[in-house]
């Protein structure tokens, strides 16, 4: 199934109205909501059975929108973002302004950032302008879903909008810690995933 412009508009309306959207991006199926709405975030966490103190990521659907939302990032970190995004990575970046606090859990000075590399079936989501709080669409601790049919019925039924992105890769994003990258050029992989270590090393080689 290929998403259309109307699907992206419906996604934006759902998020703006305080709903939780279920969608396919580049790796696995996810849930999204307004990152500034405590009620929407609580609903997303409730659907997953996720502990409220666990951080989530903020996803943008265009790199420039992500960069505009975090103007305080240093030049080395910005360079890393441009090398790695869009891509199948979640980047932990410094968050000195404590932006998107509802996504940060107990550490408001760290933000998880995603910009997916959208395949043609879901490319229409690239028109979504605002960032969303995003987490995978599976019960906490359960395997991620690569197809809509693999998502637990209570999650599908509880979402305010369901967008079928077809069959996805099925491997979650690689979590990369860039918090020491600006000052020291150091980075590390906190969760192995869709982006391999060699790929990351090539992209980040200029930071040392």
Q: Is the pLDDT of residue 208 over 70?
A: no
In this structure, what are the phi and psi dihedrals at residue 81, rounded to the nearest 5 degrees? Answer: -60, -40
Q: Where are the alpha helices (DSSP H) in 49-152?
A: 63-69, 75-84
Domain assignments of the chain as residue spans, ordered by start: 5-207
CATH architecture of 5-207: Alpha-Beta Complex (3.90)
- CA 15 – CA 113 distance, rounded (Å): 18
CA of 20: how far to CAs of 35, 41, 50, 149, in Å? 11, 8, 14, 18
Above pLDDT 90, what percent of the chain? 98
pLDDT, tens digit, 9 for 90 and up, residues 112-142: 999 999 999 999 999 999 999 999 999 999 9
Average pLDDT over the chain, rounded to an integer: 96
Please state at what angle helix 197-204 crosses helix 75-84, rounded to 10 degrees: 140
Tokens of 87: 């891509």
Check if the beta carbon of residue 65 is closer than 8 Å to that of residue 129.
Answer: yes
Q: Where are the alpha helices (DSSP H) in the chain?
A: 5-16, 38-48, 63-69, 75-84, 153-158, 181-184, 197-204
E strand or H helix that includes residue 24: strand 21-24
What is the pLDDT at residue 207?
A: 62
pLDDT, tens digit, 9 for 90 and up, residues 171-197: 999 999 999 999 999 999 999 999 999
User: Average of pLDDT values for 153-167?
Assistant: 97
CB atoms within 10 A of CB 163: 23
Above pLDDT 70, what percent of the chain? 99
């Amino acid at each position: 199934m290929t998403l259309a412009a109307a699907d992206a508009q419906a996604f934006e309306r759902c998020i703006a109205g305080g709903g939780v959207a279920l969608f396919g991006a580049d790796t696995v199926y996810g849930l999204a909501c307004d990152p500034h709405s405590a009620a929407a975030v609580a609903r997303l966490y409730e659907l997953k059975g996720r502990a409220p103190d666990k951080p989530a990521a903020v996803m943008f659907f265009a790199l420039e929108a992500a960069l505009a939302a975090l103007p305080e990032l240093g030049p080395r970190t910005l360079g890393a973002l441009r090398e790695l995004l869009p891509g199948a990575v979640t980047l932990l970046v410094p968050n000195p302004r404590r932006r998107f606090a509802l996504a940060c859990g107990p550490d408001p000075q760290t933000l998880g950032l995603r910009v997916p590399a959208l395949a043609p079936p879901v490319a229409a989501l690239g028109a979504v302008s605002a960032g969303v709080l995003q987490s995978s669409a599976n019960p906490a601790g359960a395997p991620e879903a690569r197809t809509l049919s693999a998502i637990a019925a209570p999650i599908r039924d509880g979402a305010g909008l369901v967008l079928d992105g077809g069959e996805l890769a099925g491997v979650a994003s690689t979590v990369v810690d860039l918090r020491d990258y600006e000052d020291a050029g150091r980075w590390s992989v906190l969760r192995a995933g869709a982006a391999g270590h060699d790929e990351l090393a090539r992209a980040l080689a200029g930071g040392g």
